[in-house]
């Protein structure tokens, strides 16, 4: 089942997507996160969806603006594709060897849940950036609360999946990473989610013998295919990622876990590292990026001019006097 969040007549609604793109609104619902917060996880969400499908279909997908399918309280973005790490190590000017620490656990950073944009919205260039990049990922959505989960338990806590584009300002990141805190403003302007939340049961037929979802991933820029990969090339399953994320803390309904960027052209910077040059070039206003995930759908965003950065002084050299 597929759930969409959309804007129509200046109001936000949630609907189940029916045949031929028909939207079956869920009465009183304004967000999928709100539905998940009501409890019951996947079973309750499916019951709500079945009831909505029995109701009227109005309006049609073509008559609304699709929004991000949910408003996650937290966004954890992992890095689970070894090929991507190799390419990025080259791009950052280091050794192509993957750091040994990467193999120990599925590392993640927290992204900005307030920077989400819809599947077809325009994306402004981050202030001061000249090296904007896309990142092709899949996001898993937590449906029920859990803490210190084992991987076999975690599967019951994942309610569905969505396409995830982690837009990145590579030039801003290269400076920030030198400080040792990881990317921050480089990831702060936009994250695309959509076009729907596809419930976990729909993707079970794609699961392989090792527990990975074998979904085809495709990235295009201005209609040209730049990258292709399989989601099953992840080094950890979403269940293992959820288990790690829940260590010593509580995952809550709506929390989002990003797969990390896939390999083989899942982003431009990986290709820059492998080729030793910026080919294809960084994204610029007018470029349209389309990311497609088998079984989930496509998001397509056009880059537009951003605003200039507000001037802030460099660090002031201060004394180290003590009281």
Quick one: pLDDT at residue 86? 94
CA nearest neighbour of 259 among 247, 248, 267: 267
Domain 75-304: CATH superfamily is: Fumarylacetoacetase-like, C-terminal domain (3.90.850.10)
The whole-angstrom separation of Cα 234 and Cα 80 is 5
Quick one: pLDDT at residue 178? 83
Instruction: Inform me whether the pLDDT recorded for 137 exceeds 90.
Output: yes
| pLDDT tier at 182, thresholds 50, 70, 90 | confident
- Domain extent listing, the chain: 2-67, 75-304
The whole-angstrom separation of Cα 93 and Cα 241 is 28
The whole-angstrom separation of Cα 243 and Cα 236 is 11
Instruction: Inform me whether the pLDDT recorded for 93 exceeds 80.
Output: no
Note the pLDDT tens digit of each residue in 158-167.
999 999 999 9
**Among 134-143, 178-187, 213-222, 224-233, where is mean pLDDT lowest?**
178-187
User: Which two structure tokens, joined as six digits, stand for 92?
Assistant: 């950052």
Question: Could you tell me which residue, 200 or 183, shows the higher pLDDT?
Answer: 200
CA nearest neighbour of 133 among 303, 314, 1: 303
Rounded to whole angstroms, what are the CA distances from 71 to 162, 202, 302? 12, 21, 22
* DSSP for residue 308: P
Quick one: pLDDT at residue 130? 96
Predicted TM-score (pTM) above 0.85: yes
How many Cβ atoms sit within 10 Å of the Cβ of residue 64?
17
């Amino acid at each position: 089942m597929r759930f969409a969040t959309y804007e129509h007549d200046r109001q936000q609604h949630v609907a189940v997507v029916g045949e031929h793109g028909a939207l079956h609104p869920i009465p009183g619902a304004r967000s999928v996160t709100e539905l998940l917060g009501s409890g019951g996880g996947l079973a309750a969400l499916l019951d709500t969806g079945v009831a909505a499908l029995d109701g009227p279909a109005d309006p049609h997908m073509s008559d609304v603006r699709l929004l991000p399918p949910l408003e996650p309280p937290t966004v954890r973005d992992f890095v689970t594709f070894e090929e991507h790490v190799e390419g990025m190590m080259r791009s950052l000017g280091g050794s192509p060897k993957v750091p040994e620490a990467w193999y120990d656990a599925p590392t993640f950073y927290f992204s900005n849940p307030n920077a989400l944009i819809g599947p077809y919205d325009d994306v402004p260039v981050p202030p001061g950036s000249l090296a904007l990049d896309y990142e092709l990922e899949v996001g898993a959505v937590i449906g029920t609360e859990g803490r210190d989960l084992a991987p076999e338990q975690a599967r019951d806590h994942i309610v569905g999946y969505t396409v995830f584009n982690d837009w990145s300002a590579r030039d801003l990141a290269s400076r920030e990473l030198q400080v040792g805190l990881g990317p921050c403003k480089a990831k702060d302007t936009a994250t695309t989610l959509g076009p729907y939340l596809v419930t976990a049961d729909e993707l079970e037929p794609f699961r392989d013998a090792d527990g990975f979802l074998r979904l085809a991933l495709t990235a295009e820029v201005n209609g040209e295919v730049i990258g292709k990969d399989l989601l099953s090339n992840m080094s950890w399953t979403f269940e293992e990622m959820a288990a790690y994320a829940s260590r010593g803390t509580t995952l809550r309904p709506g929390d989002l876990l990003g797969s990390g960027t896939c390999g083989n052209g899942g982003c431009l910077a990986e290709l820059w590292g492998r080729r030793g040059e910026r080919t294809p070039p960084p994204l610029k206003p007018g470029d349209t990026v389309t990311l497609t995930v088998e079984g989930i759908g496509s998001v397509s965003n056009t880059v537009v001019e951003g605003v200039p950065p507000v001037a802030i002084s460099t660090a002031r050299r201060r004394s180290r006097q003590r009281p």
